[in-house]
Amino acid sequence: MNPLQLHYEQMYLAAKNEWRQNGVRVDPLIHSPADHRFGLTLLIRPSAAVLYSIQQWQQSILNVAPNLYIYPSTDIHVTLLSVVSCEPGFQLHHIHQVEYVALVAQVLQHVPPFRISFSGITASPEAIVLCGYVQNDELNALRNNLRAAFRQSSLRHSIDKRYALTTAHITAVRFTEPLYQPESLIQMLDASVNHPFGDCWVDQIDLVYNDWYMRNNKVQLLHGFSLKDVH
């Protein structure tokens, strides 16, 4: 088992233990019109085939626990980097978009397309997550280059404020109410720990202005960066 697989497994075991002892962590703002947290994110959109596979699996989850919040396919993403973590009142006019686009373009100019494989699930106290894997650690090398570029600039950012991203995971499900029969869901999830969701060839990275849940009707695409094969 490689270190990333071990990390995902440890996350899952810790989440199951938390659910059994203290229950799931319910998201109180997920349906609240008063939630005004917005941020700036670099993200990756999975392919249509991967999205279809996720949707089929999500439906099986709903058959066991029907009151979960299921991310629609329009909102599913991999976070490359949270440039400005979602915070109340953050608005686009607080920044100069063109400067952010220029900095990211500079970092990405020699980055070739890469592949993410999605296989299996993990979890946290508040969510169910799909495991993503990238060969040769290209993703984290790219993240580190972006971190360095932003830290050397004068641009506003809050990179790694919540936690330092090291995985290519997808948050697919959140809890909106207590889970009264956790064992039923756990049994279903245990059967999904090696579930294949497919591979995704990443040739575009989007810079977006977004709410906490990356809802499609609140996301504004600021720029799409095409990755060019430099070989």
CATH number of residue 114's parent domain: 3.90.1140.10
Residues of the chain predicted below pLDDT 50: 231
Residue 164, token pair as written in the block? 């330092």
What's the pLDDT at 231?
47
* Distance in angstroms (rounded) separating the CA atoms of residues 129 and 27: 15
pTM of the model: 0.94
Strand partners of residue 221: 208
In-domain check, residue 218:
yes
* Distance in angstroms (rounded) separating the CA atoms of residues 112 and 210: 26
Helix axes 138-152, 97-108, angle to 10 degrees: 140
| Number of domains the chain contains | 1
* Distance in angstroms (rounded) separating the CA atoms of residues 228 and 31: 39
What's the pLDDT at 181?
84
By residue range, what is the domain housing residue 84? Answer: 3-27+36-226
What's the pLDDT at 163?
63
In-domain check, residue 43:
yes
In-domain check, residue 231:
no
In-domain check, residue 101:
yes
Binning the chain into helix, strand and coil, the percentages to the nearest 5 are: 35, 30, 35
In-domain check, residue 45:
yes
In-domain check, residue 169:
yes
Q: How far is CA 138 from CA 125, 142, 166, 220, in A?
A: 29, 6, 11, 27
What's the pLDDT at 59?
95
What's the pLDDT at 79?
96
In-domain check, residue 208:
yes
What's the pLDDT at 159?
87
Indicate the helix (H) or strand (E) that contains 4.
helix 3-22
* Distance in angstroms (rounded) separating the CA atoms of residues 38 and 63: 32
